[in-house]
Amino acid sequence: MFLIERGISRKHILVIVIMVLAALLLRIHVIRANPPIFPPGWGGEMSSVATAIAGGEGFASPYWVSTGKTALVPPVYPYLLAFIYQFFGVHTEASGFAAVYLNAVLSAITTLLIYLLGKKLFDPWVGLIAGWLWALYPVTGYADSVYIWSTSLYTMQLTLILLLGFTLTRKQARWIWFGFGLIIGITCLTEVLVLLVAPLLLAWALYGQRTDVRRIGLVIAAVLIVIVPWTVRNTLVFGQVMFLRSGLGLELNRGLQEDDFATMTDPIILPNRSSEEFARYVELGEINYAQEKLNDVVSYAVSHPAEYALRTIRHFMALWTGNREIIYLGWYPGSMERRKQVLYSLPAILAAAGLFLSFRVKHPARLVFLGLLILHSGVYYFTPTPPRYRVPIEPELFILSVFAIQYVFLKLEARRPRRTVQPT
């Protein structure tokens, strides 16, 4: 029943094209109806590093003041932004709109990938409805487009990786598996969290598809070919072994210090928003500053385990039901907070039902679903949880939600008494 190869019927092609265009046009409409304001500092650390790249400083200065080389954010999106700045100007309104319009295009492409993934995992109707949900859903479907960050790019990349991971078979040529590894590696340089998902797909290929170990080795080799040079760069720059980014301690400290349910006027503990924190960042240097923040978190968690556990629970609730930023999402920003919270929570609730039902019907990919939701989401139980942090797995939430609804309808339909025709 599941994971069966099916072609795209002609009647679906037009609907798919309309769906993708609708996703693109609606996102552009939201951007135009509520145009972003581009004051000094827009785009956060990503844009600051991109400005440094475009200005010839290199991958450096994440907080708008020249502070030297950095590894605070992964490299792909800042270099992409720097490329945009070369055409539209550094930190101009035109470059800002170019960045968010690019987000809209990437988000629209994700609509097609959602259809293909839902079709692959379940059936064409699951993919089609999930795709339309991504295109039109008035809350989460827009959280990726209106903010200058790597969210739209990473969401598209993660959905593509899942699609390829479930599509590739042991019969495919080895160069295709090597290319799959290159895509994973590039995605790692967009968002390192993909390394929590890739092993699930490789385990699926090895044990579920009986793929030979050599093909799995090719994937791993390709990933390393992409990510090792950046790791070497970080190690040489900072004089100590460092993986892809340095910001873990800072994010965990924000998770400790900031309240997801407080008002938007509460201070955010970041060097670009606190003069004291910035002075400390400059004094210690990026690596020692991040280590100090990590030590503070560990010390607090050890000395106050109950309080830290309570904070973790609050992050959990914020991720799945929405935090203080929910009121600014999607349509009518700044209003209808309760309705948006319901709409934001609904995919999570239905996806949990879909995950349960996937185990009930013994879906071949059920363990990948479970690992995706636990591992990828679990990181954010210890950090701040703005809605855009959930966006990369929103496609899978929509697919599981539609599957759950379809399952219930099919069961109800099967229980309906059938009318029998009496012989005359």
What DSSP string runs through 8-48?
PPHHHHHHHHHHHHHHHHHHHHHHHHSPPP--TTTTHHHHH
Are the C-beta atoms of residues 254 and 270 closer than 8 Å to each other? Answer: yes
Read off the tokens for 154: 């990473």
At 212, which amino acid appears? D
In this prediction, residue 37 carries a pLDDT of 64
**Spans in the chain with pLDDT lower than 70:** 1-9, 36-42, 140-143, 262-268, 327-335, 418-424
Q: Is 60 helix (H, G, I), strand (E, B) or coil?
A: strand
- What was the pLDDT predicted at 224? 97
**What is the predicted pLDDT for the residue at 16?**
92
Q: Which residues, listed in sequence order, are joined to residue 69 by a DSSP beta bridge?
A: 60
Count CB neighbours of 218 within 10 A: 18
Q: What pLDDT was estimated at residue 323?
A: 78
* Distances, alpha carbon 183 to alpha carbons 77, 103, 138, 230, 252, in Å: 15, 19, 30, 15, 28
Q: Rounding to the nearest 10 degrees, give the CA dihedral for residues 38, 97, 86, 109.
A: 140
pLDDT of residue 205: 87
At 69, give phi and psi (nearest 5°): -60, 155
pTM, two decimals, is 0.93
Of residues 143, 69, 20, 276, the one with CA closest to residue 61? 69
Say what the pLDDT of residue 256 is.
87
What digits encode the pLDDT tens for the residues 47-62?
A: 999 999 999 999 999 9
CA 305 to chain centre: 29
- Distance between CA atoms of 272 and 65, rounded to whole angstroms? 9
- pLDDT score of 420: 58
